[in-house]
Amino acid sequence: MPESTTQIQYFKQVQRPSITQLRSTMVDPAVNLFFLEMKGELEQTKDKLEQAQNELSAWKYTPDG
């Protein structure tokens, strides 16, 4: 049983990225470009959602009759 606990602790530590790994990832230009593109797409999607919500709230159903 202690072996299992030791293995679990080891795997938990292996899964956590180190500070240097995080810094190198944040400084990597390719990753930075990818995140900037995702941010731009998210802003566009938010704008489209807001526009659709505005159109929906402005539209009123008037039954024929």
Q: Which residue has the higher pLDDT, 44 or 64?
A: 44
Query: If pLDDT is split at 50, 70 and 90, which confidence band does 64 have?
Result: low
Q: What is the pLDDT of residues 1-40, one digit of tens each?
A: 778 888 888 877 777 777 777 777 667 788 888 989 999 9
Q: How far is CA 18 from CA 24, 26, 28, 33, 65, in A?
A: 10, 12, 15, 22, 69
Closest CA to 2 of 26, 10, 64, 15: 10
Query: If pLDDT is split at 50, 70 and 90, which confidence band does 44 have?
Result: very high
